[in-house]
């Protein structure tokens, strides 16, 4: 459903026990879809995600332990930040692409716009409250390279197997993003 609409990256959050198996199954059965693991909160979860086949890793926050553990791996890692201090800490460890979470509660697009002048070498993937109503505001920023969120494939549509509704949501999202000047 996502690939049909033109989405080629998928983050599976590890909020349930099904997450790791979903990553493994998608990697085994679907080609051309870059599948990552999100909501990683410990080194053990990072290790398990890599073992399941995650092609990228995302955490909601960035502790020194997570940053150090992920830096030893050959899998891209997006540490989560919500403050300037957290962004600086991740930057000091060599990370230049960061998750901004929860975006809507942490200052939204205005916060990221202000960060451009003090940390022009950082790029962001905002998640948490991003949707079709504010998607364009984020994607218009030069330091935002992508966005993430569950609005495209909410749990209820997945549980019902309503792939056409998910495709329609993904298509609408791609249309918004494609219509923006960059």
Catalytic residue among 11, 21, 45, 55: 11
Is 72 catalytic? The answer is: no
User: How far apart, in whole angstroms, are the C-alpha atoms of residue 61 and residue 92?
Assistant: 15
Sheet holding 77-78, edge to edge: 9-13, 34-38, 57-58, 77-78
Nearest-CA neighbor of 7 among 33, 25, 31?
33
Q: Which one is catalytic: 99, 116, 137, 156?
A: 99
Nearest-10 crossing angle of helices 43-52, 64-71: 30
Active site residue 11: yes
Q: Which residues are catalytic?
A: 11, 99
């Amino acid at each position: 459903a996502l690939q049909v609409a033109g989405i080629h990256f998928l983050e599976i959050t590890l909020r349930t026990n099904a997450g790791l198996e979903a990553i493994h199954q998608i990697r085994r059965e679907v080609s051309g879809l870059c599948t990552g693991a999100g909501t990683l909160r410990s080194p053990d979860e990072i290790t398990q995600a890599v073992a399941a086949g995650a092609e990228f890793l995302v955490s909601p926050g960035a502790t020194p332990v997570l940053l150090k553990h992920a830096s030893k791996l050959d899998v891209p890692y997006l540490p989560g930040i919500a403050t300037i201090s957290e962004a600086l800490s991740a930057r000091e460890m060599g990370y230049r692409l960061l998750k901004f979470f929860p975006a809507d509660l942490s200052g939204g697009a205005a916060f990221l716009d202000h960060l451009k002048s003090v940390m022009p070498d950082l790029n962001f993937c905002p998640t948490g409250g991003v949707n079709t109503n504010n998607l364009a505001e984020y994607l218009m920023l030069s330091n935002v390279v992508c966005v993430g969120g569950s609005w495209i494939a909410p749990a209820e549509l997945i549980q019902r197997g309503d792939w056409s509704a998910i495709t329609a949501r993904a298509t609408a999202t791609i249309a918004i993003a494609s219509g923006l000047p960059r």
